[in-house]
């Protein structure tokens, strides 16, 4: 089986297993996803979803958050960790959205990368989830699973993993595929325990690279 064939089979099986998988960060506007994905660095999505409720109650739009004192932002987002740097980035990012984009999030990948605190993972998430454009989000679940399955071979650097996946994942499948990897990585192909291969829908086609399966 070629990697392209393996990728197609993995995509098809994960679709059946997690048909409704989507972004686990709560948002109803593009700028809120931009804020949440910055807060999610080294923090669980579940905690971010709780913390942003207070943030958005106090600062309900881009203009309000752009005008907020970074120290006030930090006092709210501190439970997400790295509060000072995250608050600084959020403040700077909202100012740019307000001053340069009329309060809107740009739908251009390179423009997103220029925003404070936005890397390739965040930019891809925005492109895929907000704008419905081809995207591959190489978070920790994605990197771990595609190596275990055998879609990439021993590559851990996010951008390199992304580039390898672009070669074998159909563009229109990338965003949803990565969301499904998150669900599968949390429920079955776990990081902190041995993976539950006995209940894995990919067990017969997975390379199980670098793990001792139960």
Measured distance CA(87)–CA(100) in Å, rounded: 20
The total of other beta-carbon atoms located within 10 Å of residue 131's CB is 16
Residue given tokens 């686990």 in the structure block: 24
Q: Catalytic annotation on 121?
A: yes
Q: Is the dihedral of CA 99, 101, 104, 106 positive or negative?
A: negative
Q: Catalytic annotation on 139?
A: yes
Q: Which of 32, 121, 129, 176 is catalytic?
A: 121
Q: Which of 139, 156, 199, 204 is catalytic?
A: 139
Contacts of 123 (CB under 8 A, 6+ apart): 109, 112, 113
Measured distance CA(138)–CA(160) in Å, rounded: 9
Catalytic residues: 121, 139
């Amino acid at each position: 089986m070629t990697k392209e064939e393996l990728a197609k089979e993995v995509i098809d099986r994960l679709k059946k297993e997690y048909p409704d998988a989507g972004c686990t960060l709560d948002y109803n506007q593009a700028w809120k996803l931009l804020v949440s994905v910055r807060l999610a660095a080294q923090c669980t999505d579940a905690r971010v979803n709780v913390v942003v409720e207070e943030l958005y109650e106090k600062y309900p739009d881009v203009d309000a958050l752009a005008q907020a004192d970074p120290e006030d932002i930090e006092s709210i987002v501190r439970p997400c960790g790295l509060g000072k740097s995250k608050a600084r980035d959020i403040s700077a990012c909202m100012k740019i959205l307000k001053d340069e984009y009329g309060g809107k999030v740009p739908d251009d990948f390179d423009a997103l990368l220029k925003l404070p605190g936005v890397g390739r993972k965040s930019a891809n998430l925005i492109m895929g989830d907000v704008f419905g454009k081809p995207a591959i989000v190489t978070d920790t679940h994605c990197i771990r699973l595609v190596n275990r399955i055998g879609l990439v071979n021993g590559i851990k650097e996010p951008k390199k993993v992304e580039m390898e996946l672009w070669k074998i994942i159909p563009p229109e499948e990338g965003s949803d595929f990565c969301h499904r990897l998150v669900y599968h990585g949390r429920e079955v192909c776990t990081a902190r325990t041995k993976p539950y291969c006995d209940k894995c829908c990919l067990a017969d086609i997975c390379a199980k690279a670098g793990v001792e399966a139960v």
